[in-house]
């Protein structure tokens, strides 16, 4: 294990985090609010420690699988610890455990919060809170891969460990160029949504904050009532569309740019993803039109928004969906285990894994009927290896085991079954709001410090796809 090189890369990561605090620091200075000192100290401390790490003398520049996993997991932990400093030092969140929870929730794009009244927070804190979504959405280390020449070809191990989905494909031969293409697409789509939200009546500040929350699929807002507080059908529809776009594999946008429309249209994961959204929106729209709203457009608007919000693991709300029927709430709970596409900013299990599992089940049924048949599993005419199928099956089983045992542990808080299960599903799937105890009108402030740290761990597990984090818990990992 090349420990010196690992900490040298972590040093550059801390410098990136420190520089990322400059925009909210400037906002604090311009708005003349009390959090400017907290940001100044946080930037200085983060950059000072980061610079000290970058001065570590390294004789062997090498990144292999172990180094890649260690850099990603430790990088996210370091980013969350130092990213929590503005919350804690400003007094916006007096408890460091709570500040750490909020920051992990931000970087992992979960959107779970312990803040009961966000409208009293300074503008700089509100901006930083949502900016962590945007940074973490595409990946904290993806920036390092794109800008640090020292990462070299070994940067692929970092990219692979951080990328959401079972298979991390390079768009172009060089991993550095792939990272740049992804971030270019990310920035362009962000700018388009920012402009559209301003045209809908949002201030530039609110447009930026909600763009970060949408593109990062995080869901932090400037209002206690989330998107519903704006009472605008235009804003609701715009954010709904961009949530769906954010849950789509970002490499497909590069295909669109290259004119490969046929490949995009035939993409099996995209078609299943849009089909799930369409079917769920249809069912909930009909249900809500009959039992609650009595108006087809209103039913569709809230249904499309909430389905998009949950399946992409964004967590924005326009209405307290706890008032919906059990049927509609059951659909939303099911979507918490689906998630967005691989290569998107969405969390949870991912549509590509659902698709592979469906094909695996279909193959097993065929083999029962035809024992001697050799049936290969293909997605978009590309065969999926048995190793990848085993990885996907193992991920699904491990995901469900963590969900079950995590729910049991959280139930020790004395909350109901639905509250404890949805709290774990919402944090492990990086969704944010759940049901009952952690519903859209509640926060996670009522949990004990132990449960907040446990749920923070679940958020990191979900964002880094389980195995990346769990591998580091094995003693064998740290042996040469």
Binding residues: 109-110, 218, 313-314, 430
Largest CA distance in the chain: 74
H/E segment holding residue 102: helix 96-107
Torsion (CA) 466, 472, 474, 479 in degrees, nearest 10: 150
Burial (0-12, 13-18, 19+ Cβ within 10 Å), 276: middle
H/E segment holding residue 218: none
Closest CA to 252 of 239, 269, 237, 272: 269
Phi and psi, residue 400, nearest 5°: -70, -35
DSSP for 370-406 reads STT-----EETTEEPPHHHHHHHHHHHHHHHHHHHHH
The single-letter DSSP state of residue 279 is: H
455-399-312 Cα angle (round to 5): 75
Give the per-residue SS3 of 400-465.
HHHHHHHHHHHHHHCCCHHHHHHHHHHHHCCCCCCCHHHCCCCCCCCCCHHHHHHHHHHHHHHHCC
Pairwise CA distance, residues 111 & 465, whole Å: 17
Q: Which residues are annotated as a binding site for K(+)?
A: 109-110, 218, 313-314, 430
């Amino acid at each position: 294990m090349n420990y010196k090189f690992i900490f040298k890369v972590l040093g550059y990561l801390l410098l990136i985090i420190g520089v990322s605090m400059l925009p909210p620091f400037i906002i604090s200075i311009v708005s003349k609010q009390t959090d400017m000192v907290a940001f100044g100290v946080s930037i200085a401390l983060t950059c000072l420690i980061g610079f000290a790490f970058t001065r570590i003398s390294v004789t062997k520049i090498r990144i292999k699988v172990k180094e890649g996993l260690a850099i990603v997991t430790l990088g996210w932990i370091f980013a969350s610890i130092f990213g929590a400093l503005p919350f804690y030092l400003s007094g916006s969140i007096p408890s460091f455990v709570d500040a750490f929870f909020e920051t992990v929730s931000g970087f992992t794009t979960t959107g779970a919060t312990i803040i009961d009244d966000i409208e009293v927070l300074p503008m700089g804190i509100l901006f930083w809170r949502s900016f962590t979504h945007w940074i973490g959405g595409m990946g904290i280390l993806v920036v390092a891969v794109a800008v640090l020449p020292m990462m070299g070809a070994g940067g692929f191990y970092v990219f692979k460990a951080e990328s959401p989905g079972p298979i991390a494909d390079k768009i172009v031969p060089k991993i550095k160029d792939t990272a740049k293409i992804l971030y270019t697409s990310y920035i362009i789509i962000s700018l388009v949504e920012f402009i559209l939200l301003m045209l809908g009546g949002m201030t530039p500040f609110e447009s930026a904050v909600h763009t970060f929350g949408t593109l990062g699929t995080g869901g932090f807002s400037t209002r206690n009532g989330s998107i519903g507080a704006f009472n605008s059908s235009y804003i609701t529809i715009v954010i709904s569309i961009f949530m769906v776009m954010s849950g789509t594999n970002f490499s497909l946008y590069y295909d669109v740019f290259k004119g490969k429309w046929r490949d995009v249209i035939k993409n099996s994961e995209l078609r299943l993803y849009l089909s799930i959204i369409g079917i769920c929106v249809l069912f909930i729209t009909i249900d809500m039109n009959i039992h609650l709203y009595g108006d087809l457009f209103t039913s569709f608007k809230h249904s499309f928004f909430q389905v998009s919000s949950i399946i992409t693991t964004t967590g924005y709300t326009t209405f307290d969906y706890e008032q919906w029927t059990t049927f509609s709430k059951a659909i939303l709970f099911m979507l918490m285990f689906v998630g967005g596409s691989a290569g998107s900013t969405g969390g949870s299990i991912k549509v590509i894994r659902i698709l592979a599992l469906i094909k695996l089940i279909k193959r097993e049924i065929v083999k029962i009927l035809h024992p001697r048949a050799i049936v290969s599993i293909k997605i978009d005419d590309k065969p999926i290896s048995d190793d990848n199928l085993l990885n996907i099956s193992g991920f699904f089983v491990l995901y469900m085991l963590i969900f079950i045992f995590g729910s049991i542990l959280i139930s020790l808080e004395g909350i109901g079954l639905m509250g404890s299960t949805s709290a774990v599903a919402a944090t492990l799937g990086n969704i944010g709001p759940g049901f009952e105890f952690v519903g859209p009108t509640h926060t996670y402030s009522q949990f004990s410090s132990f449960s907040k740290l446990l749920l923070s761990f679940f958020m990191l597990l979900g964002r880094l796809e389980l195995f990346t984090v769990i591998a580091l818990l094995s003693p064998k990992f740290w042996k040469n």
